[in-house]
Structure 1
């Protein structure tokens, strides 16, 4: 018995689209907290909001995205979600104020909810009924891979092999952060300790003693 095909052209396109949408999230999640701190001069709370406001947009719009997919059509909503997602990604360039930045993040999160919900529905419709479990398993593995690699990217803070996926300014910012984080501060001696140190050295020279530094 010949199995019905899963890997059709449309299914591959949907998988790749959803792959890059998820990849976009993890790349920006790695860089944006530092972007808020160093470029927008935000505080610790605003650095956290760079991630939280995105997730909030996803959570708030998710219950409605399924209804819109049923009402307006899965392909149409997938295109709308992807387009808004792309426009939101581009709108980050040149953003100066923290309020505008967070507003774009919120819209970006909402568009992700729409795009991902529609993409899952489209993928399911493209898989033959006899191979639904297998097909959705392939589609879900994309998300598992991104999640694991995304966690790795966040732990690495962009200073390793993930830099080829980031903008140059993000790479520079992350490397500066890594250098400052791992920098060992130069010890300082006050005058009293400095005098004690000189006395110990002078005494050792007179008595021909061996000095050990730790």
Structure 2
């Protein structure tokens, strides 16, 4: 299936494109709200500025996809592969990203307010100045993630022993963590210089080797 066929069938009212193969397709600025692309192969697809609000992308392969400024509000990306994807400026308000692989993604300024990221992999992702207010990041892998200047107010970063939120080596300089729940989080090596921690819950967090000013 190519981009033109997808758009033609979508315009005709079809919404279910389960396991569609669209490797490298160009769908920038396309209107695809509520589309179903479960387990679709979307590697290297250009979806910049596309409307994918409330789309079903469970298990989809979005490796290296371009999603710059895309509208993914309410989208279900559970277990999706977004490795090396470009998501800078995208809206992911209340998106579902449980168990998703977001390793090494570019997500500068992305809006993840209220997003569900339970047990997602965000290792080495770039989330500078992103908004993760009230997001669920429980047991999420945030090792070496860049969160400088990000807002994580009232975010859930809880983690129990051996399955804790992993913030080892994370850059949290000037991040807003007011009211965030960091109980049981593993913070060894994290850089919290200038971070706002008023009202944050740190009980049981492993905090040795934290750099904080």
TM-score, with normalisation over the residues of structure 1? 0.21
Rg comparison, structure with higher value: 1
Q: TM-score normalized by structure 2? A: 0.21
Q: Which has the higher contact order (CA 8 A, sep 6+)?
A: 1
